[in-house]
Structure 1
Amino acid sequence: MASVSAVIATYNRAPELRTALSRLLAQSHAVAEILVVDDGSTDGTDAMVRTEFPSVRYVRLPHNAGLIYARNFGFVNTTGDYVLSVDDDSWFEEPDGLARAVAYLESHADTAGVACNIETRDGLVYFPRGVAPFDVPWYVGCGHLLRRSAVASVGLYMPELYRQGEEKDRCLRLMGAGFRVVALPDVMVYHDKSEKGRKPGLERFYNHRNDLIREVARCPAGLLPWRFARAWIGNSWKNLRHGPRLTDLKVLAALPEIVRIGRKHRAPVSAEAYRRWQHLAATAAPGRVGNAPESSVERSVVALGPHPNPPPLGGGGN
């Protein structure tokens, strides 16, 4: 049976982490190892894990290094054939959720990772339930399973991204290496979305900044000027609509850093793989369903429908 390592990065969410660990340990597919990477918590997380979950490996980083560093640390310090990522406030809704995700990867050697269907307490369901598995351009950090060998072939997350946007960059690299990333709409992960540590303004800044870094690092040269401008304009429009409006100025001030980090990691994928990724980003984006108005649900089903004859993936570009 394939072995699964679970990595959970945490920061000052001891009660939420307790629930996440309890639910994970109740899965029908036993997890070979669980590694909790504590990014500098000060709320007693260490005592809670050591006392209540003695089978769980616990490592406390000496300082707050960011979510992405913690996930990289977890990957290189585990050994399972598959690496499960859930957040400290997320868990499978059904006891066989992990087993079904593993079974899909076991039977699809060309698939590097599966994106679980995320349901949040504010009524968001990412994919319509009952839809057959289909290709997606990225997974969500709080609920996905990755094939270790595929990730090892393309490398770790860019640690400079710090807290978000890493999923898009990795999936683009995986597609460039000839792999697929597939959504499993019936494997549900509940995301409680704890408010602890959430700062919408900071999240929008990193979304904008990290999208630009990804374009510099991965976009083919012939497409880069247009795609960089498109990413900037698209995120600027979101900032104007939702605020804070100073985000654009902060991103502008960070432009030298954005270019430096992007050039440091530059390894563009092929134009074919990049266009394939763009196509999926436009046609397989998450949509609000479940508690949404019927018209929104219908639009989501159309946007999220499977692609029975997807264009071929581009090879090697990394």
Structure 2
Amino acid sequence: MTKFSILITTKDRLLDLKETLNRLAFFINNDDVEFIICDDGSLDGTSNFIETNYKSIQLIKNTKSKGLIFSRNRLLSLTTADYAITLDDDAHIVSNDALKKIDDFFESNKKCAVIAFRIFWGKILPNHVGHSLAEKRVKGFVGCGHVWRMEAWRDIPNYPDWFVFYGEEDFASFQLFKNKWEIWFVPDILVLHRVDVKARKKDVDYTTRLRRSLRSGWYLYILFYPLTEIPKKMTYTFWMQIKLKVLKGDLKALLAILGAVFNVLFNIPRLVYKRKALTNLEYNAYKKLPDTFVYWTAEIKE
């Protein structure tokens, strides 16, 4: 059995994928690493490029696009590795000895289900990538840079592919918490996620992304929060979106909010059926965990 796998889902982003594969050459050529890519219905020649240039990569294809979450479930169901690293097609590992660090940490922390990496979001890596952060148990992890202990993955339900995009990591985090598994932030493993976060507001899919982000958060409230917490959580997040976006003239946000409300109402039967709420005791313990570490900003050196 292979100890490590690297799993990437991609769709119509061949230029980004080419750079990622170039940056991950060490892992691709490592016999201890199983490398699997899911081409989610690309029309830009992605599959042909991989088949022609990377014979050692296992390629799977969705003839028609099935979405990020469906594809990640498919990848995780195929891997035979002990530990499965998930990266976006525009992200790559920067740190040296990442595999050894992963192995050592999992061996020393038997209840750790997922290691969350330190992630820098930006087109260019800072000159100084050192840090003074400590390893710590956290609430969750980010999709573009983490690694699963596959024993833990098989102990919980698959990601909810009906979420389509956003929220699947938090869904898994709640399931892991219910099953007494832990998630740890390990900052010594650094990933560069090559995106301009601020520019995303200008992207054509801004409204869709915001709608999916909002609805996934509301889905999670209904699925996992104690009943007494749900109304105030949903009311607060709804009002903050209105206050911080709509009242400041962001009419695209209004469309996203209304769309998210419709999605929640439509999915109420499924949400109630799949509800697996934390007890009040579990919820209070969960709240005390540090938040998911999403963004890292380089520390300024004198």
Instruction: With the length of structure 1 as denominator, give the TM-score of the two structures.
Output: 0.81
1:276/1:74 CA distance change after superposition, 3 Å: same
Deviation string 1:113-145 (CA, Å, 9 cap, x unpaired) is 1100001226899x9822220111111111100
Match of 1:210 among 211, 216, 219: 216
Match of 1:303 in 2: none
Q: Unpaired runs of 5+ in structure 2?
A: none
Aligned AA (2:21): L
Match of 1:276 among 285, 290, 300: 285
CA distance in 2, matches of 1:160, 1:183: 27
Deviation string 1:204-234 (CA, Å, 9 cap, x unpaired) is 1111000111111112334333333344344
CA distance in 2, matches of 1:291, 1:149: 36
Deviation string 1:6-38 (CA, Å, 9 cap, x unpaired) is 210000111221222233341497553111111
CA distance in 2, matches of 1:237, 1:122: 31
1:72/1:270 CA distance change after superposition, 3 Å: same
1:236/1:151 CA distance change after superposition, 3 Å: farther
Match of 2:141 in 1: 139
CA contact (8 A) 1:81 1:147 kept: yes
CA contact (8 A) 2:207 2:255 kept: no
Q: CA RMSD in A?
A: 2.9
Match of 1:199 in 2: 205
CA contact (8 A) 2:3 2:32 kept: yes
Match of 1:259 in 2: 268
1:263/1:165 CA distance change after superposition, 3 Å: same
CA distance in 2, matches of 1:17, 1:111: 30
CA distance in 1, matches of 2:167, 2:130: 23
1:98/1:233 CA distance change after superposition, 3 Å: farther
Match of 1:59 in 2: 60
CA contact (8 A) 2:223 2:276 kept: yes
SS in 2 for 1:100: helix
Match of 2:192 in 1: 190
1:130/1:230 CA distance change after superposition, 3 Å: same
The aligned runs of 1:1-318 (5 Å cut-off) are: 3-27=3-27, 31-121=32-122, 129-193=131-195, 199-240=205-246, 244-280=253-289, 285-286=293-294, 289-290=297-298
CA contact (8 A) 1:39 1:70 kept: yes
SS in 1 for 2:180: coil
Aligned AA (2:280): A
CA distance in 2, matches of 1:236, 1:153: 39
SS in 1 for 2:96: coil
SS in 2 for 1:226: helix
Q: How many residues align?
A: 291
CA contact (8 A) 2:131 2:299 kept: no
